[in-house]
A and B are shown apart, each in its own frame.
Chain A
Amino acid sequence: MIFLKNVKASMLRELRLMRQRPVYLLASVGVMTFCCIFFLTFLRDGMPDNLPIGIVDNDNSSLSRNIIRQIDATQLGKTVVFDSYASARKALQTGRINAFCVIPEDMYNDVLSQRQPVLTFYVNSLYFVGGALAYKDLLTMANLSSGAVQREFLRAKGMNDNAIMGQIQPIVIDAHQIGNTTTDYGVYLTNVLMPGILEMIVILVTVYALGSELKYGTSRHLLEKSGGSMTAAMLGKLIPYTVLFTILGIICDLILYDLAGFPLAGSIWNMFLGTFVMVLACESVAFFIIGALPILRLAISISALYSVLGFSLAGFTFPVEAMPPYIQGLAAAFPLRHYYLMYVQEAVFASGFNGWYPQIVYLLIFMFLPALVYKRLRNAYQSLCFPRN
């Protein structure tokens, strides 16, 4: 009973601190709100449309104009006509267009006389998304144009349209995208970036909350309030944050899967669970950092370096299995990595508990971290023996 009273006392003290110092709410609620608005509006189109694609038309025939119209007709592309290769190349080098196509002189005549003219594509793949999509658009256009010429030829031979399709395109690919049917970039990125931002917030705010007791020399006051019990002090201090972060995470999940309507094959309750366990794991990491380095200025710099790396090592952009082996091991040290794997199982494949329980176990293993530095942090809190600045 006394223990619970101590926890309560420390909790009330923390709530008062949170009220007095706006940085806690600004850094959690404020940052989450901003990032949510940013990613949902920034990527709201899902797929880029009207990507500028350059055309150098040296032919100026009905066929070349038809090619231009075809690109304009796709939702993805919008042609920009250049009068020379040099000017198109300049636009490519300055990133104004991500790809262009040179239509050779006398293309139409060469087609008619079966001389197989060559279209030339230039793609700037430094702009990954724009480059790859523009490239795909140009390839489709070239194959369709070839098909159209073939169709005219076969029609002249008297073939019927049904048979013509079987000849122009004997094989078609029916592509299915599991977990993101519309190839929506917003869905793909936001679903992991937002939990990544949450991870960053949890680690930074927890380190800051625990470390500022040391910095401002108030840790003895905290221990006094909690009846000298470090456990009660820590529990009381962390419970309000855990509740706050979990609520933020759950609201974020609701916004993504409910309000924004991002596809979720499994159950949102499991996502809540994943979010909650990730919050606990991140708090444990934060506890470990401030415990190992009980100097706020250093601990906060290290946490910043650590949490930014989480985005890359989660492996949702560039897959972890394609990274060098020694980096693959490092990836396991980031809660976001395990959250991402759990998210894939639940939201993409709906494989349920059997699919993702190992990830939850790994996340829970993070919770042993505080035990390693618990004594050290208690000493620091009691004796304030580390440099404050």
Chain B
Amino acid sequence: MKNRISYPVRWFSDWYRTFSRELLHIFRDSGVMVIFFLAGLAYPILYGLIYRNGSVDNMPVAVVDNAGSPESRQFIRDVDATRELSVRYSCADMSEAERLMQQRLVKGIIMIPDDFSDRLASMQQATISTYADMSSFLYYKNLTMGTNMVMLNAIHKIQAERFSAAGYNEGQVSAMVQPLRYEENIPYNRTFSYSIFFLSAVLLIVIQQTMFYGVSMLSGTMREENRSFAILPDHLNGHGVSRTVLGRGAAYWLLYIAIGVYITSIVPRIFGLPQNCPYWQIFVLLLFYVSACVVFSLTFSSIIRHRETVFVIFLFMSPICLFLTGFSWPTSSFPAFWKVFSYIFPSTFAVQAFINMNTAGADLSLASPQLTALTVQIIVYYILSCTAVLIENRISEKSTWIFR
């Protein structure tokens, strides 16, 4: 009688029961809904809004022009004309400029010494001093880029004047001023926009982190209610680990493919992020990444005892995971230990692949190292999550035996 149903049908019905039960748990739990939907859907939008402008333009600077010569005034006008800087104050002396900087009315100071024009006239090197507010590196970058650009132009102009005064013709002058020219191509993020840089990395981090927190909250809840996350179908006497893991996993997988499509296709469109790769290729990456995140979350959520503790103990991992992707501090400068540590997280590989594909236009074949790493993670974490279920069952068997 019992064996009339064939194995695949049985397997599928067990799987389906776990799957639908898990979905039910998710939608009944307001805390998890907040994390999955409020965080998963609203965070990317919020980050997009925060970094919407992308760059700091016309950063206010103060100028102390002790030279007061035509050359120094021209230099200041050129600084003001750059996209990066805007000369907001002209100060009589350094102490006044310092005060403005301390009051944070300016983020940088440019000081032109009184011997500036004299030194230029006598063919000596003239020095201009800049002082950058280092409280944000973007201030420093703006001041450096703005003044260096103006300086190079000024240098070329001075040299050209001197050579033509010495009697060279126009072609010769140009060749002597710039014997080597250069041309710059910054193809993927022309203006060094902070929003393209930050969003590209943070979008995928949101997927992994919200999923991990949500899964852990549910595992914790089950533990608290004296049910285990590792309930196996009753009729199998301790077998059927795979259908439990795959059934639970499928529930999250389904939800997150939907959230993932929203995060990787709709959000970039809203904020005008470049998408230089056909979407189906991003979707393939998403399939790998979401699968890896599911088994990763199932594995690590098994150590959570109480539902709320996952935030209290693991929330700090979100910024750390972000750094471990190497989007900011370059991977080539990671200390060896942290490099290995970063391999634990699916986000490390997925963010790199996403940045390379979505914005730098690499195709799937160029992302194969990351896809391979994600595949390894899927296999390892799948085995680990099955092991967790097995161990959990052993423990609960033993404890019921003891209490008997």
Partners in one complex: yes
The answer to whether B187 and A122 touch across the interface, beta carbons within 8 angstroms, is yes
Taking A180-B134, A316-B136 as contacts, is the C-beta distance between A51 and B333 under 8 angstroms?
yes
The answer to whether B188 and A38 touch across the interface, beta carbons within 8 angstroms, is no
Chain B: which residue is nearest A152 at the CB level? Answer: B179
Interface residues in A257-302 by Cβ distance below 8 A to B read 295-298, 300-302
- Cβ–Cβ < 8 Å partners of B124 in chain A: 166
- Cβ–Cβ < 8 Å partners of A318 in chain B: 50-51, 56, 136, 138, 194, 198
Q: What total count of A-B pairs have CB within 8 Å?
A: 332
The answer to whether A173 and B151 touch across the interface, beta carbons within 8 angstroms, is yes
State A300–B134 Cα separation when bound (angstroms): 35
- Cβ–Cβ < 8 Å partners of A149 in chain B: 179-180
B312 at the interface (CB under 8 A from A): yes
The answer to whether A179 and B46 touch across the interface, beta carbons within 8 angstroms, is no
A362 at the interface (CB under 8 A from B): no
Chain B: which residue is nearest A263 at the CB level? Answer: B134
Chain A: which residue is nearest B365 at the CB level? Answer: A90
- A101 smallest CB distance to B (angstroms): 8
The answer to whether B308 and A126 touch across the interface, beta carbons within 8 angstroms, is no
The answer to whether A300 and B176 touch across the interface, beta carbons within 8 angstroms, is no
Most buried by B among A115, A179, A183, A305: A305
The answer to whether B320 and A35 touch across the interface, beta carbons within 8 angstroms, is yes
- Cβ–Cβ < 8 Å partners of A383 in chain B: none
Interface residues in A34-84 by Cβ distance below 8 A to B read 34-35, 38, 41-45, 48-52
B196 at the interface (CB under 8 A from A): yes
A127 at the interface (CB under 8 A from B): yes
State A111–B217 Cα separation when bound (angstroms): 67
The answer to whether B135 and A179 touch across the interface, beta carbons within 8 angstroms, is yes
The answer to whether A301 and B176 touch across the interface, beta carbons within 8 angstroms, is no
Contact of B182 among A118, A211, A297 (CB under 8 A): A118
State A319–B224 Cα separation when bound (angstroms): 44
Most buried by B among A126, A129, A323, A348: A126
State A122–B188 Cα separation when bound (angstroms): 10
Contact of A171 among B141, B155, B337, B366 (CB under 8 A): B155
Contact of B130 among A48, A175, A196 (CB under 8 A): A175
Contact of A150 among B176, B319, B355, B367 (CB under 8 A): B176
Taking A178-B133, A183-B140, A305-B38 as contacts, is the C-beta distance between A45 and B333 under 8 angstroms?
yes
B128 at the interface (CB under 8 A from A): yes
The answer to whether A146 and B178 touch across the interface, beta carbons within 8 angstroms, is yes
Chain B: which residue is nearest A119 at the CB level? Answer: B182
- B50 smallest CB distance to A (angstroms): 5
State A295–B172 Cα separation when bound (angstroms): 79
B234 at the interface (CB under 8 A from A): no
B154 at the interface (CB under 8 A from A): yes
- Cβ–Cβ < 8 Å partners of B318 in chain A: 308
Taking A34-B316, A93-B362, A344-B104 as contacts, is the C-beta distance between A324 and B53 under 8 angstroms?
yes
The answer to whether A178 and B185 touch across the interface, beta carbons within 8 angstroms, is no
Taking A116-B178, A169-B125, A323-B50 as contacts, is the C-beta distance between A300 and B335 under 8 angstroms?
no
Classify chain B's interface size: 35 or more
- B104 smallest CB distance to A (angstroms): 7
Taking A119-B180, A153-B176 as contacts, is the C-beta distance between A125 and B188 under 8 angstroms?
yes
Interface residues in B176-225 by Cβ distance below 8 A to A read 176-190, 192, 194, 196-198, 200, 213, 217, 221, 224
A114 at the interface (CB under 8 A from B): yes
Contact of A129 among B120, B172, B307, B329 (CB under 8 A): B329
A31 at the interface (CB under 8 A from B): yes
State A309–B319 Cα separation when bound (angstroms): 11
Contact of B186 among A123, A316, A344, A349 (CB under 8 A): A123
Chain B: which residue is nearest A162 at the CB level? Answer: B124
The answer to whether B338 and A41 touch across the interface, beta carbons within 8 angstroms, is yes
- Cβ–Cβ < 8 Å partners of A115 in chain B: 175
- Cβ–Cβ < 8 Å partners of B175 in chain A: 114-116
Contact of A301 among B35, B120, B129, B130 (CB under 8 A): B35
The answer to whether B136 and A128 touch across the interface, beta carbons within 8 angstroms, is no
State A174–B125 Cα separation when bound (angstroms): 12
B95 at the interface (CB under 8 A from A): no
- Cβ–Cβ < 8 Å partners of A124 in chain B: 187-189, 360
Taking A23-B313, A120-B183, A170-B159 as contacts, is the C-beta distance between A127 and B123 under 8 angstroms?
no
Taking A149-B180, A169-B155 as contacts, is the C-beta distance between A297 and B316 under 8 angstroms?
no
- Cβ–Cβ < 8 Å partners of B120 in chain A: 170-171
- B285 smallest CB distance to A (angstroms): 14
State A176–B143 Cα separation when bound (angstroms): 11
The answer to whether B330 and A129 touch across the interface, beta carbons within 8 angstroms, is yes
A315 at the interface (CB under 8 A from B): yes
The answer to whether A126 and B200 touch across the interface, beta carbons within 8 angstroms, is yes
Contact of A300 among B137, B221, B312 (CB under 8 A): B312
B255 at the interface (CB under 8 A from A): no
- Cβ–Cβ < 8 Å partners of A171 in chain B: 120, 125-128, 151, 154-155, 158
- Cβ–Cβ < 8 Å partners of B240 in chain A: none
Interface residues in B1-57 by Cβ distance below 8 A to A read 29-31, 34-35, 38-39, 43, 46-47, 49-53, 55-57
A2 at the interface (CB under 8 A from B): no
A197 at the interface (CB under 8 A from B): yes
A200-208, A217-225, A246-254, A367-375: which lies at the B interface?
A200-208
What is B's interface to A at a CB cutoff of 8 Å? 29-31, 34-35, 38-39, 43, 46-47, 49-53, 55-57, 101-102, 104, 119-120, 123-141, 143-144, 147-148, 151-152, 154-155, 158-159, 162, 171-172, 174-190, 192, 194, 196-198, 200, 213, 217, 221, 224, 306-309, 311-313, 315-316, 318-320, 323, 326-335, 337-338, 352, 355-356, 359-362, 366-367, 369
7 residue pairs bridging A and B, Cβ less than 8 Å apart? A50-B333, A119-B180, A153-B179, A170-B158, A172-B126, A177-B134, A327-B50
The 9 A-B residue pairs with the shortest CB-CB distance, nearest first, are A114-B175, A297-B31, A130-B330, A180-B134, A93-B362, A149-B179, A48-B333, A125-B189, A119-B182
